[in-house]
Structure 1
Amino acid sequence: MLDFFRQRSASAKDDVLSGLTVALALVPEAIAFAFVAGVSPLIGLYSAFFIGLITAIFGGRPGMISGATGAMAVVIVALVADYGVEYLFPTVILCGLLQIAIGLGRLGKLIRMVPHPVMLGFVNGLAIVIGLAQLGSFKTLSSGGELVFLNGKPLMLMLSLVIATMCIIWLLPRFTKALPASLVAILLVTFASIAINRNVETPNGENVLATVGDMLRTNIKAAEFAEVGDLATAGVATGAAGEIAAKADSAAGSISGGLPVPFFMQYEMVPLNWETLKIIFPFAIILCGVGLIESLMTLTLIDEITETRGKGNRECVGQGAANIVCGLFGGMGGCAMIGQSLINVNSGGRGRLSGVTAAVCLLAFVLFLAPWIEQIPMAALVGVMFMVVIGTFEWASLKMFKRMPRSDVFVMLLVAGYTVFMHDLASAVILGVIVSALVFAWQHATHIGADSKYNEFGSRIYQLHGPLFFASVSSFKDMFNVNEDPDDVVIDFYYSRVYDQSGLEAINWLAEKYEGCGKRLHLTHLSPECRKLLDKAGDLVEINMSEDPQYHIATDRLA
């Protein structure tokens, strides 16, 4: 990774300024993800506030930013479209309860099972997805209601300001680190954009440089034109255009709003019965899994960047509490936001104050500063995100292809490709873990073998090497010649381990074969873990255990 995320110590000033920077970048993201979910833009903004505030205070990773995310929005859109927005809020609450249960059950440590090639593929795929998502900001709405790419003078001005933003972020730290470079870039480019929009006229009277307010109005117009449009690459979707039109408090193209109130004061309550639970429970399970996987992966990434360690189980509880409160106040739920977290880290945010500042500033934008925030040009935010892409991509992984095992390269490319083409980070990680586990099992299935010799009593001793588990069972069985072996056979597990029930079943099968031929089978040098498995097997394994105190052999441990 490039030295984009420079190491720096935490300070209150850096946390406040970086939180303000993140809040500015959160506005268009929250609006876009609300359109993905088919709900009002204000629901997305309120969700980002609650999720960001509560996880910043109670979560397990200081400096990590949480809010409304696209990963959860794509799950929500089906629920809202099929059953209505009223079912969304109890679903989010149930999702939060499940996340708390997982945290209290200390299952957050399962993130340790993610192999490094999966992490590399996840990070690289994510960087590509973030970069491609910015292309939507280079589109405008045609008279026919279709999104088309900019051209001519608007495109050149847009590119110029994007490049200017990136240059400021890159060059400013060389001269001063008193202010976050991203924040300075956004402010300077905003002033330039306002001047350009006031002095450059367009035929239709619209701004030549699109702003946050323009993006909101464009999305609303697009929702009126079509039920489903090709807006996925722009970070928006219109799968529930009618819901947006009916519920959007921002129909006039503004993010201005009041204080959030409980959902039961705004919407009709759904019946709390078994039928409702059958509807919302599958969605809650998916939201819980998607949210925690993305959050824990982000936590791991921030850990590596800051060279500190977060608390996965505490993060699960914090995310769950945030989703419960978010659901109670009519929010769409959320989880950790990787792009905004990287902006925060790059801007110097290291403590919980940065996340709290981002959430409070976001609410202040909605309550008091909407007209000014809507003047921020999309070019500035695109430039910031492009720099995040450059800093996120593991460029060193391109040089590692020739040195990495082919299986690891395959897993990395698989996860990255799935992330890019399917836009599903959680499924990409799960797929990578499954493939890595299968590759591991396949490789270790061939590592089992046995050396055979006879002792002074005529007993045949098999010195086993390698793990005995489901993938190596077949090779294990082929090692023994029951008919030709003597009456007394010993299997020495000094260099081996039994890992699962398949291994126990193989031992039981072998014992029955020897017993059927009137021969005795002994096991020696079983590790404590292996003996524990044999004890748990009950009557499954019926074999004799050799007694040999000199070699610390298990004695009288008949299953």
Structure 2
Amino acid sequence: MFENSSALRSSLKNDILSGLTVALALVPEAVAFAIIAGVEPLVGLYAAFMVGLITSIFGGRPGMISGATGAMAVVMVALVASHGVEYLFAAVVLTGIIQLAAGVLRIARFIRLVPHPVMLGFVNGLAIVILLAQLGQFGQPGEIGWAAGTFLEGSILDVAWLPTNQLTMMFGLVFLTMAIIHFLPKLTTSIPSSLVAILVVSLAVVGLNIDTRVVGDIASIAGGFPTLHIPAVPMSFETLRVIFPYAVVLAAIGLIESLLTLRLIDEITETRGNGNRECIGQGLANTVTGFFGGMGGCAMIGQSMINVNSGGRGRLSGITAALSLLAFILFASSLIEQIPIAALVGVMFIVVIGTFEWSSFRIIRRVPKQDAFVLITVSAVTVFTDLAVAVVVGVIISALVFAWNHAKEVRVEKRENRYGSHYYTVHGPLFFGSTAKFSEQFTPRDDNNDVIIDFADSRVVDHSGIEAIDALAMRYKKNGRSLHLIHLSRECKKLLKKAGDMVEVNVVEDPNYFVAIEDADWGDEPMVN
């Protein structure tokens, strides 16, 4: 009992301290993403508070941190620029409703279709995006940088670097932060090293009066408690026509990033979250946030990694991060605004190092070329476009490669048995990619009057396979041949429309499997509490 009590106290302490660390790192991120979206900094901070709090309570992955994200912000900017922030709030509400529907319909199961190379590309691409986002802190915003006139113009790299003395000091403080985070756990793990690093560097800057950029140089974070705000937009079909495309894209990006981050945290913690519950949590968070003047959001891989690496594994860590952020806004803005940007950049650099799958360089020559291509493509698309596009592209490429490889596996052996019947043995899967090769290996016009097709070494995967069998049966029927289909599953026989009466049933030997016509109900996923 005493061991359980001690473990509980340690867990609560870790959750609270890691949550506080995450809250400090959330401030500049939320402000930066609000600026990207073209809204006031408090709109991003309110979103980080509300989305983080609601998903921590109702979401499906304890320890995962959600808030305003850059992936969603880049979509929002066009809507804000063309119609104003009120339309953004309405779109966020609709985004939440779509995500709630996805959770009810249990769409999360489809994240299982994301192959491992796509997952690696997602992680590596997002690590690069986080790194590039920090590089802007080393420049002077609003000034033309060294990238002018190149393909990098207008990107996060298109900044004019700080003066040499400030740049040197910035690098020094970043290095000090990273050194503390790296070496402190070798001495003690009782306090998150990231939190100690932020406090030490902040005290050093204030105590030594070091001239360096602080959070307050980005924007003021002082504000009041978020209040109920019904989006001031016309309740009309025209409004729906404007916001619906944005809401669909935002919902897709939010769910993809959240579910992939959930999978990553699952692997790190060796536990399992509930994807469908996370969809509902994200939907509820965005719906509420839209009614309280927030820009919406989704899971944040960087802050989630900070939380997990700092020992935060329970729901209390996310709740602490959200409530701490609100306390910063209400009561401690003047103190938080004194935190050096370099300290937070150092924390994020450690996140980049921990997030990037360095093993990719080791295995890239060992895995099949198509997997290596998918990994590199997804990483590049994540960096240059957005996460949702990258994942979709990766899944499509992987699916096409899989279909092409397996389409070549189907083969048919033909022989004549002792009764004078032509006996075909089918090997390999029968699905949309292999039906053409399957059909062209039969010769109904030249075969004997009695024909047997044995599917014992094959499996009918989808409706295209069923249709191919039906079409083949019609060809034999037109040529006056007697056809016998053996060793098909019971479901195959049920789905065959034209050749159903040609199937011979063998209760002992016939296989039992399902054809992918509709998605089966996989049941609720086990979840961690």
TM-score by length of structure 2 reads 0.90
Q: Structure 1 residue 183 and structure 2 residue 195: aligned?
A: yes
Alpha-carbon distance between aligned partners in 1 of 2:507 and 2:398, rounded to the nearest angstrom: 40
Matched ranges for 1:105-504 at <5 A: 105-141=105-141, 147-196=159-208, 198=209, 208-216=211-219, 254-264=220-230, 269-422=232-385, 424-504=386-466
Deviation at 1:195, TM superposition (A): 3.5
1:303–1:310 Cα contact (<8 Å) kept = yes
- Residues 383-420 of structure 1: per-residue CA shift (max 9 Å, x gap): 00110111111111211122211111111111111112
Cα 1:41–1:61 shift into 2, 3 Å? same
- Residues 351-402 of structure 1: per-residue CA shift (max 9 Å, x gap): 0010000000101111111111111111101100110111111111211122
Deviation at 1:549, TM superposition (A): 5.4
Alpha-carbon distance between aligned partners in 2 of 1:326 and 1:449, rounded to the nearest angstrom: 56
Matched residue type, 1:444 = H
Deviation at 1:324, TM superposition (A): 1.0
Deviation at 1:531, TM superposition (A): 2.8
SS at match of 2:332: helix
1:263–1:329 Cα contact (<8 Å) kept = yes
Matched residue type, 1:100 = L
Structure-2 residue corresponding to 1:21: 21
1:125–1:415 Cα contact (<8 Å) kept = yes
Deviation at 1:147, TM superposition (A): 4.2
Q: How many residues align?
A: 493
Structure-1 residue corresponding to 2:148: none
Cα 1:551–1:366 shift into 2, 3 Å? closer
2:456–2:511 Cα contact (<8 Å) kept = no
Structure-1 residue corresponding to 2:480: 518
Q: Structure 1 residue 91 and structure 2 residue 103: aligned?
A: no
Structure 1 consecutive aligned stretches of length 4 or more whose deviation exceeds 6 Å: 142-146
Deviation at 1:548, TM superposition (A): 4.7
User: Greater CA deviation, 440-449 or 270-279?
Assistant: 270-279
Deviation at 1:428, TM superposition (A): 0.9
1:263–1:330 Cα contact (<8 Å) kept = yes
- Residues 318-362 of structure 1: per-residue CA shift (max 9 Å, x gap): 111111110110111100011000000111101001000000010
Structure-1 residue corresponding to 2:100: 100
2:487–2:505 Cα contact (<8 Å) kept = no
1:92–1:324 Cα contact (<8 Å) kept = yes
SS at match of 1:131: helix
Identical residues among aligned pairs (%):
59
Cα 1:141–1:276 shift into 2, 3 Å? closer
- Residues 119-174 of structure 1: per-residue CA shift (max 9 Å, x gap): 11111111111111110010114778994112311111110110000000000000
Cα 1:113–1:550 shift into 2, 3 Å? closer
- Point out where structure 1 has 5 or more consecutive residues left out of the alignment: 1-7, 201-207, 217-253, 555-559
Deviation at 1:547, TM superposition (A): 4.8
Structure-1 residue corresponding to 2:519: none
Deviation at 1:512, TM superposition (A): 2.2
Deviation at 1:115, TM superposition (A): 0.7
Structure-2 residue corresponding to 1:545: 503
Deviation at 1:442, TM superposition (A): 0.4
Cα 1:117–1:550 shift into 2, 3 Å? closer
SS at match of 1:209: coil
Cα 1:553–1:303 shift into 2, 3 Å? closer
SS at match of 2:177: helix
SS at match of 2:424: strand
Alpha-carbon distance between aligned partners in 2 of 1:546 and 1:116, rounded to the nearest angstrom: 41
TM-score by length of structure 1 reads 0.85
Cα 1:163–1:548 shift into 2, 3 Å? closer
1:524–1:553 Cα contact (<8 Å) kept = no
2:33–2:44 Cα contact (<8 Å) kept = yes
Deviation at 1:77, TM superposition (A): 1.1
Deviation at 1:105, TM superposition (A): 1.4
- Residues 212-252 of structure 1: per-residue CA shift (max 9 Å, x gap): 11123xxxxxxxxxxxxxxxxxxxxxxxxxxxxxxxxxxxx
Matched residue type, 2:109 = K
Cα 1:532–1:160 shift into 2, 3 Å? farther
Deviation at 1:274, TM superposition (A): 1.6
Alpha-carbon distance between aligned partners in 2 of 1:121 and 1:521, rounded to the nearest angstrom: 49
Cα 1:532–1:306 shift into 2, 3 Å? farther
Alpha-carbon distance between aligned partners in 2 of 1:353 and 1:102, rounded to the nearest angstrom: 26
Deviation at 1:508, TM superposition (A): 2.5
Matched residue type, 1:127 = A
1:168–1:185 Cα contact (<8 Å) kept = yes
Alpha-carbon distance between aligned partners in 1 of 2:329 and 2:24, rounded to the nearest angstrom: 12
Alpha-carbon distance between aligned partners in 1 of 2:196 and 2:249, rounded to the nearest angstrom: 39
- Point out where structure 2 has 5 or more consecutive residues left out of the alignment: 1-7, 146-157, 513-529
Alpha-carbon distance between aligned partners in 1 of 2:80 and 2:141, rounded to the nearest angstrom: 25
Matched residue type, 2:83 = Y
SS at match of 2:233: coil
- Residues 158-204 of structure 1: per-residue CA shift (max 9 Å, x gap): 101100000000000000111100000001111122234x3x6xxxx
2:229–2:291 Cα contact (<8 Å) kept = yes
Cα 1:308–1:439 shift into 2, 3 Å? same
Alpha-carbon distance between aligned partners in 2 of 1:472 and 1:44, rounded to the nearest angstrom: 50
Alpha-carbon distance between aligned partners in 2 of 1:547 and 1:533, rounded to the nearest angstrom: 14
Cα 1:413–1:543 shift into 2, 3 Å? farther
SS at match of 1:456: coil
2:96–2:287 Cα contact (<8 Å) kept = yes
1:121–1:412 Cα contact (<8 Å) kept = yes
Deviation at 1:10, TM superposition (A): 6.4
- Residues 508-529 of structure 1: per-residue CA shift (max 9 Å, x gap): 2222222221112221100234
Deviation at 1:270, TM superposition (A): 1.2
Cα 1:391–1:520 shift into 2, 3 Å? same
SS at match of 1:495: strand
Deviation at 1:480, TM superposition (A): 1.1
SS at match of 2:413: strand
Structure-1 residue corresponding to 2:4: none
